[in-house]
Amino acid sequence: DQQVKQNSPSLSVQEGRISILNCDYTNSMFDYFLWYKKYPAEGPTFLISISSIKDKNEDGRFTVFLNKSAKHLSLHIVPSQPGDSAVYFCAASVGGGADGLTFGKGTHLIIQP
């Protein structure tokens, strides 16, 4: 049973436009959510997180939105840049995730010139 789902394996966006990556979860106990970015053959790097007490968190070009009633979160990247091409993982946890994060399968974002 996959508790964190990223239903789009890949997404292609034109440079300068907005990239929207989606993530759904099924476990209503999750209260902390993160997005990671991963290049091939490298470890994931942390992008942005959001607590369930918020519905939006912004950091530069990256904004994460959380809709608790729909059990849905999304990552917006504006404007999209070539260096944003990577695999993006959504992750969730109960509390801070001291006993581990639950990851989605990832979405491969391709920024086209």
Which value, to the nearest 10 degrees, does the dihedral of the CA atoms of residues 33, 90, 56, 60 take?
Answer: 120
62 binds another protein (CB under 8 A): no
Q: Which of residues 70-99 bind another protein (CB under 8 A)?
A: 89, 91, 93, 95-99
C-alpha span between 113 and 100 (Å, rounded): 37
**Alpha carbon 58 to chain centroid, angstroms:** 13
For the CB of residue 58, give the shortest distance to another protein in the complex, in Å.
17
For the CB of residue 75, give the shortest distance to another protein in the complex, in Å.
15
For residue 92, the tally of other CB atoms under 10 A from its CB is 24
Q: In the set 45, 67, 81, 112, which binds another protein (CB under 8 A)?
A: 45
For the CB of residue 15, give the shortest distance to another protein in the complex, in Å.
27
C-alpha span between 91 and 103 (Å, rounded): 4
Applying CB under 8 A, the residues found at the interface with another protein are 4, 6, 32, 34, 36, 41-46, 49, 89, 91, 93, 95-106
